[in-house]
Structure 1
Amino acid sequence: MKGTKRPIYAVTTWLRRQPPKMKAFLALLSGITALLFIRMVVHDHDNLFVAAEAVHALGISVLIFKLSKDKTCSGLSLKSQELTALFLAVRLYCSFVMEYDIHTILDLATLATTLWVIYMIRFKLKASYMVAKDNLPIYYVVVPCAVLSLLIHPTTRHQIVNRVLWAFCVYLEAVSVLPQLRVMQNAKIVEPFTAHYVFALGVARFLSCAHWVLQVIDTRGRLLTALGYGLWPSMVLLSEIVQTFILADFCYYYVKSIVGGQLVLRLPSGVV
């Protein structure tokens, strides 16, 4: 066991010593490699989007287990859960009026479990809620997304209100995890179930991003024109990439912690 850990430790030590530009390059290279692997293994790339929502639901299930078993919500951000419920509710509305499919059912299930988590944090486990560390104002996240959705939204034939709401849920989903990252940065120590949940979010974001990128490649860019014209198609793709990179740093330290056999994740200063 020690023999297998030594090469991993050597690699992580080498990575830690690299300058930021080299780390960014290696992260980009790793992402491209993962995309190429997924493209070879997964033939129907629509399944990636379903898989992303399934992984998100799995992450929520981890939270439910934590709240039910440990009877504590320590380390969780109520604001992130509320932002998640908000963009899911808006996306559900858009799905009902614009495109009812399997994603609608998955979103409905995820919204129901998210609302249960919010109820538990607000009422049943309020005493363990780290309100002082959950200090990122929600309007810092919601207002920019609302303004951006008014300026850049789909150019389809749907009603303008529905198109703006569609854009709003896309932008909000990209940054809804920021309050949770702030809580973990303030606490510096992340207990296992919270770490599993945020890692699941990171995996879901990557799968969703891979879905869009591979769809654009497979259609040779025609997908972007199908989404409309102007800046909206590019903003959809950019939002997916932003979601992935927001969680990339945390996922690196999560994997490093798991490989090192640590149950509790300790974040160095400046992470997330």
Structure 2
Amino acid sequence: MRGERNTIHVISSWVRRQPPKVKAFLAVVSGMAALVLLRFIVHDHDNLFVAAEAVHSIGISLLIYKLMKEKTCAGLSLKSQELTAMFLAVRLYCSFVMEYDIHTLLDLATLATTLWVIYMIRFNLKSSYMEEKDNFAIYYVVIPCAVLALFIHPSTSHHLLNRIFWAFCVYLEAVSVLPQLRVMQNTQIVEPFTAHYVFALGVARFLSCAHWVLQVLDSRGHLLVALGYGLWPSMVLISEIVQTFILADFCYYYVKSVFGGQLVLRLPSGVV
């Protein structure tokens, strides 16, 4: 085990010394390698989307366990939870009026637990809420997402307003974690349960992104046509990729910390 940790330490030290362009290249290569591996391991790529939702649920469960066991919400971003509840509520509405399926029930359960987390932070555990650290202005993301949705949305046969709402929740989901990353940037120290939760979000986002990319490859691009015409199909893929890369740096330091045997994650300045 010690040999593995030494090897990981050597590799991580080498990666840390590389210029940003090399780090970005290594991240892209690692992502592509993981996609190739998933393509051969997972035969039904729809299962990747289900797995993404399951991992997200595990992350929420860890968050609830933290709130109930430790009786503190220190290190958590209320604004990220509010953005999550917002895009889930919009997506649920779209699911009910456009494409009701099993994912609707999963989203409903996730929304219910997210609302419970918001309630706990706002009322039961308000004294431990780090409001001064949670200083990301959410209108910086809500307004651009709404404007983008007005101009770039699906071209299906559904009502225009429903198509705009659908695009809005896709864009908002891609950036909903930014307030949580700002809190961690401000504190520089992330306690275990919060770190587990954010890492679960990172894994869920990667699986969701892999689902879309592999679906496009399997359909030889026909899936993009099925999503509509214009910029919308490309924006769906871009949103998934943005979500993944937003959390990639944090996930790297999380894995490094876990293999290093550290319970508390200490982030270098400028990581998130």
Give me the TM-score of the superposition, normalised by structure 1: 0.99
C-alpha distance after superposition, 1:40-66 (max 9, x if no partner): 000000111111111111100000000
Q: Secondary structure at the match of 2:131?
A: coil
1:92 aligns with 2:101: no
Q: Tell me which residue corresponds to 2:53.
A: 53
1:18 aligns with 2:18: yes
Aligned partner letter, 1:211: H
Aligned partner letter, 1:269: S
Q: Secondary structure at the match of 1:209?
A: helix
Following superposition, the deviation at residue 203 of structure 1 comes to 0.2
Q: Tell me which residue corresponds to 2:76.
A: 76
Q: Secondary structure at the match of 1:52?
A: helix
Aligned partner letter, 1:213: V
Following superposition, the deviation at residue 7 of structure 1 comes to 1.3
C-alpha distance after superposition, 1:162-185 (max 9, x if no partner): 000000000000000000000000
Partners of 1:216 and 1:118 in 2: how far apart? 36
Partners of 2:44 and 2:199 in 1: how far apart? 24
Partners of 1:4 and 1:111 in 2: how far apart? 40
Partners of 2:60 and 2:270 in 1: how far apart? 26
Partners of 2:57 and 2:125 in 1: how far apart? 21
Q: Tell me which residue corresponds to 1:38.
A: 38
1:160 aligns with 2:169: no
- Following superposition of structure 1 onto structure 2, how do residues 201-240 of structure 1 map, counting pairs within 5 Å? 201-240=201-240
- Following superposition of structure 1 onto structure 2, how do residues 129-148 of structure 1 map, counting pairs within 5 Å? 129-148=129-148
1:107 aligns with 2:100: no
Give me the TM-score of the superposition, normalised by structure 2: 0.99
Following superposition, the deviation at residue 9 of structure 1 comes to 1.1
Aligned partner letter, 1:160: L
C-alpha distance after superposition, 1:183-231 (max 9, x if no partner): 0000000000000000000000000000000000000000000000000
Q: Secondary structure at the match of 1:14?
A: helix
Q: How many residues align?
A: 272
Q: Tell me which residue corresponds to 2:271.
A: 271
Q: Secondary structure at the match of 1:153?
A: coil
Following superposition, the deviation at residue 8 of structure 1 comes to 1.3
1:181 aligns with 2:184: no
Q: Secondary structure at the match of 1:112?
A: helix
Partners of 1:3 and 1:156 in 2: how far apart? 55
Q: Which runs of 5+ in 2 are unaligned?
A: none
Following superposition, the deviation at residue 235 of structure 1 comes to 0.2
Runs of 4+ in 1 over 4 A off after TM superposition: none
Q: Tell me which residue corresponds to 1:258.
A: 258
Partners of 1:172 and 1:62 in 2: how far apart? 23
Aligned partner letter, 1:134: D
Aligned partner letter, 1:217: L
Q: Tell me which residue corresponds to 2:192.
A: 192
Following superposition, the deviation at residue 4 of structure 1 comes to 2.5
Q: Which runs of 5+ in 1 are unaligned?
A: none
